[in-house]
Structure 1
């Protein structure tokens, strides 16, 4: 290999290494939900088509109202205060929707620490835990749930459509394994270059 070829090889290796590390950094930054957030979780009475339809109707109306209330807010403290002050209105929205479709389901609206399951959304695992949220429980609350983030306003993202993740997977996040794979790949490249240089002088 001539000098020009060697230079091109080294440039290509540098570009490849930079690209791999950039991809790794992008993966690490794919967390959509910030550490300080207020969520909304709606539990359907059951998984029947009728009960899921009720859940979706309530979801649409509650989302529309809360998004208006927090649209111009920039702090979680202000959003928390606004949502607390509008809990009665959220109750009225749910009551109106249930009456409008002739449902006799009971319901309960609360605001506080709410248990969420582990979810994989995109490439990021959101671990199970108790998170600050508005919880709307319809009837027995035994059906599939729906949830989003009220503040910052992220209800255009349906996090409940993420994949369920087994609890044991929480102890093995994706980022470290990706880093090991990248580092190992780079080591192999460096070793190959070293061997090639040694061969030039043997």
Structure 2
């Protein structure tokens, strides 16, 4: 009797320990490098139209930048990439803005110290402070701003791009979770076999 109870508790301990280990593994993420280059876009004003223009510029620049950040390992190299593509990025932003208003100026610059508030990426936190950033001013640049991290390329996560892949990974994790109750049910059957009516 005592040995049977001991075996049951050992089995339950293994199930719980395995589940906690998997949970901890799933929550672990690669740390974000301290050296980063951000994107900050200032809209002309806070009107609905200008906010829409800002979002379209955001999407265009974030996607274009991510395409050139895949194999860039350091902030210094990322800076060189942005310097080389600065005119192209400005042209892409102008194309979006000028589709709405051909007279609206657009200014794109890579600046060493731009003030940012605290930003959270899942379990990771970027503290408030001055950071290097690609800054886009649309028109008077007096409207609500939007920002993200261009290097490493985290902007696409903010935009929801790549979520389909993340959802697939989550489904696989849920399938793994579903396997665990089978062992738990097995223990319950053993328990009933030993001590049931």
Band the TM-score falls in, shorter-chain normalisation: 0.5 to 0.7
Does the C-alpha gap of structure 1 residues 126 and 76 become closer, same or farther in structure 2, counting only changes over 3 Å?
closer
TM-score (norm 2): 0.63
CA deviation profile, 1:29-60 (whole Å, cap 9, x unmatched): 34674333322221222332101111122223
Cα deviation, residue 26, structure 1: 4.6
Counterpart-to-counterpart distance in 2, 1:113 and 1:31: 26
Q: Does 1:82 align with 2:81?
A: yes
Q: Secondary structure at the match of 1:157?
A: helix
Does the C-alpha gap of structure 1 residues 145 and 157 become closer, same or farther in structure 2, counting only changes over 3 Å?
farther
Q: Which runs of 5+ in 2 are unaligned?
A: 161-197
- RMSD of the TM alignment (CA)? 3.1
Q: Does 1:23 align with 2:13?
A: no
Residue 100 of structure 1: aligned partner: 99
Residue 133 of structure 1: aligned partner: 133
User: Relative contact order: is structure 1 or structure 2 higher (C-alpha 8 Å, sep ≥ 6)?
Assistant: 2
Q: Which runs of 5+ in 1 are unaligned?
A: 161-202
Number of residue pairs the alignment of both structures matches: 159
Q: Does 1:3 align with 2:10?
A: no
Q: Secondary structure at the match of 2:141?
A: coil
Counterpart-to-counterpart distance in 1, 2:39 and 2:75: 14
1:33–1:149 CA contact under 8 A, matched in 2 = no
Counterpart-to-counterpart distance in 1, 2:59 and 2:115: 22
Q: Secondary structure at the match of 1:156?
A: helix
Counterpart-to-counterpart distance in 2, 1:76 and 1:50: 34
Counterpart-to-counterpart distance in 2, 1:40 and 1:13: 48
Counterpart-to-counterpart distance in 2, 1:115 and 1:128: 8
TM-score (norm 1): 0.62
- Runs of at least 4 residues of structure 1 off by over 6 A? none
1:39–1:132 CA contact under 8 A, matched in 2 = yes
